[in-house]
Amino acid sequence: MAKNAHKLTTAMAIRYLDAARVVWKNSPNATAFWEPLNHLFSMSAELTIKAFLEHEGVSEKELKRASIRHSLNALLLLAVTHGLRITRDVANAIMEMDEAHSSHTYRYIPRPAEGESLTVYSAHPAVAFTALQELLDQCATDTHEIRARSNFPEEWPPASLPVHPITIHELEEWIEEKKRLRAWAEGSKSRGV
């Protein structure tokens, strides 16, 4: 891995977030570009976390493992283990995007069976945008550089460290709880509840 690979990865994450901002601000309505917008948000999240992990010395081979590769939850767990300090709000926004991102739902059209409904979880654009700005700030080696690379630096809130960041234990429990709740919801739909 190149010595400064994390800088290139961070720059790409910022471009995805800037593109999401353009799509979001120019949408004729809240759902007009839902899938492309969420794809941009989730790609920014994946690249941001990978940039942090690259900077912390995690190997490219580790980041390409099937269980980690596109899983925002797995990447987030690994990053918190390596010292990433984020708020619960940021963690929640990322976890909301995980299932659709890791299954490529934003890129490929899901095909439920006849009569089945499909639920796609994602973060609300206003929440995702703010959470990803905070995530980039927490993962950055230089917050001034992040703003200088953005086409919209005036829209970034001041950087600050979370007072009570989420712990690895809390994050693991929360991810499992979300999985259980979603499985229960899917089971309820299939039972007609």
What residue spans define the domains of the chain? Answer: 5-191
Q: With the CA atoms of 129, 134, 136 and 138 taken in that order, what torsion angle do they form, in degrees rounded to the nearest 10?
A: -170
Tell me the pLDDT tens digit for each residue of 62-100. 998 988 889 999 999 999 999 999 999 999 999 999 988
Residue-wise burial string across 13-31, b where 16 or more C-beta atoms lie within 10 A, e elsewhere: bbbbbbbbbebbeeeeeee
Kindly state the average pLDDT of the residues 6-25: 94
Residue for token pair 């899983």? 71
Tell me the pLDDT tens digit for each residue of 144-183. 999 999 999 999 988 888 999 999 999 999 999 988 988 8
Q: What is the pLDDT of residue 189?
A: 65
Q: Which of 182, 154, 175, 150 is nearest to 76 (CA)?
A: 175
Give the rounded percent of residues in the chain with a pLDDT score beyond 70.
Answer: 90
Q: With the CA atoms of 11, 17, 18 and 19 taken in that order, what torsion angle do they form, in degrees rounded to the nearest 10?
A: 110
The DSSP call for residue 65 is S
The DSSP call for residue 110 is -
Q: What is the mean pLDDT of the chain?
A: 88
Can you tell me the distance from the alpha carbon of 30 to that of 23, in angstroms, rounded to the nearest whole number? 11
CB contact set of 7 (below 8 Å; sequence gap of 6+)? 51, 141
Read off the pLDDT band of 2 (50, 70, 90).
low
pTM as predicted: 0.89
